[in-house]
Amino acid sequence: MSEMHNDGMAPPADLLTRLPTGPWSTDAASTNYGVSSWGASYFAIDPDGNLCAKIPDDSGESPTDVPLLDAISELQSEGLGSPLMIRFPAFLDAGLSALNQAFTKAIESHDYAATYRGVFPIKVNQQRQVLDEIASYGSRFGVGFEAGSKPELIAALAYLHRPGSLLVCNGYKDEQFVRLALMGKRLGFDVVLVVEMPQELDTIIRCAEEMDIEPSIGFRLKLSAEGYGYWKNSAGERSPFGINSSQLLELTDRLRNEGRAHWISMLHCHQGSQITELKTVERSANEACRVYAQLRAEGIEIRYVNFGGGLAVDYAGLGKDDLRSPDYTVNDYADVLVATMKRITTEANVAPADIITESGRAIAAPYAALVAKVHDVATFEVDEGVDIALPDDCPGSAIRLNDLLERIDDTDLDGAYLSAIKARDAALADFAKGEITLRERALCERIYWKLLSAILAKARRIGRTSTALTNLDAILADQAYANFSIFQSLPDSWAIGQIFPVVPLQRLDEKPTRRCLVNDMTCDCDGAIKHYPTAGGVSDALMLHDISDGEDYYIGVFLVGAYQETLSDLHNLFGDIHVISVTAENGKAVFSRVLEGESVGDALETVKHSPRELSRMFRHNISNAIKEKKLASSERNRFTSEYDAGLHSYTYLSEQSDD
Ligand SMILES: Cc1ncc(COP(=O)(O)O)c(C=O)c1O
Q: Measured in whole angstroms, how far is the alpha carbon of residue 343 from the centre of its chain?
A: 35
CA distance 99 to 331: 8
Q: Which atom of ligand 1 is nearest to the CA of 170?
A: 1
CA distance 367 to 114: 31
CA distance 418 to 430: 19
Protein residue whose Cα sits closest to atom 12 of ligand 1: 309
492 lines ligand 1 (CB under 6 A): no
Q: Which atom of ligand 1 is nearest to the CA of 359?
A: 11
Handedness of CA 229, 233, 237, 243 (dihedral sign): negative
Q: Which of 122, 123, 222 to mutate to test the pocket of ligand 1 (most atoms within 8 A of CB)?
A: 123
| pLDDT classification of 234: cutoffs 50, 70, 90 | low
**Lowest-pLDDT range, 381-395, 465-479, 542-556, 557-571?**
381-395
359 lines ligand 1 (CB under 6 A): yes
In single-letter form, the type of residue at position 16 comes to L
CA distance 414 to 319: 28
Which tens digits make up the pLDDT trace of 38-74? Answer: 998 999 999 999 999 999 987 767 899 999 999 999 9
Predicted pLDDT at 409 = 87
Handedness of CA 179, 180, 183, 184 (dihedral sign): negative
Residue 1 has pLDDT above 50, yes or no: no
646: left (phi over 0), alpha (psi -120 to 50) or beta: alpha
Determine the distance separating the centroid of ligand 1 and the alpha carbon of 264, expressed in angstroms: 22
DSSP 632: -
Which tens digits make up the pLDDT trace of 145-179? Answer: 999 999 999 999 999 988 999 999 999 999 999 99
Determine the distance separating the centroid of ligand 1 and the alpha carbon of 203, expressed in angstroms: 25
Residue 250 has pLDDT above 80, yes or no: yes
Q: Do 504 and 553 form a contact (C-beta atoms < 8 A)?
A: yes
What mean pLDDT comes out for the span 453-468?
91
Closest CA to 9 of 274, 261, 235: 274
The number of beta carbons lying within 10 Å of the beta carbon of residue 569 is 12
Which tens digits make up the pLDDT trace of 76-107? Answer: 999 999 999 999 999 999 999 999 999 999 99
Determine the distance separating the centroid of ligand 1 and the alpha carbon of 122, expressed in angstroms: 9
Determine the distance separating the centroid of ligand 1 and the alpha carbon of 71, expressed in angstroms: 31
Determine the distance separating the centroid of ligand 1 and the alpha carbon of 120, expressed in angstroms: 9
Closest CA to 42 of 50, 51, 33: 51
Q: In 3-state terms, the chain is what percent helix, strand and coil (to 5)?
A: 45, 20, 40
CA distance 231 to 124: 14
Protein residue whose Cα sits closest to atom 5 of ligand 1: 309
DSSP 311: B
170 lines ligand 1 (CB under 6 A): yes
In single-letter form, the type of residue at position 307 comes to F
| pLDDT classification of 6: cutoffs 50, 70, 90 | very low
Q: Structure pTM?
A: 0.93
- Average pLDDT score, the chain: 93
SS (H, E, C) 228-284: CCCCHHHCCCCCCCCECHHHHHHHHHHHHHCCCHHHEEEEECCCCCCECCHHHHHHH
| pLDDT classification of 242: cutoffs 50, 70, 90 | confident
CA distance 551 to 480: 14
CA distance 358 to 268: 10
CA distance 341 to 306: 11
Residue 301 has pLDDT above 50, yes or no: yes
Cis, peptide link before residue 83, omega less than 30° from 0: yes
CA distance 545 to 363: 33
Which tens digits make up the pLDDT trace of 506-564? Answer: 999 999 999 999 999 998 889 999 999 999 899 999 999 999 999 999 999 999 999 99
Specify the 3-state DSSP secondary structure of 169.
Answer: strand
CA distance 289 to 613: 61
Which tens digits make up the pLDDT trace of 401-449? Answer: 999 999 998 899 999 999 999 999 999 999 999 999 999 999 999 999 9
Going through 112-183 in order, the beta strands assigned E by DSSP cover 116-121, 144-147, 166-169
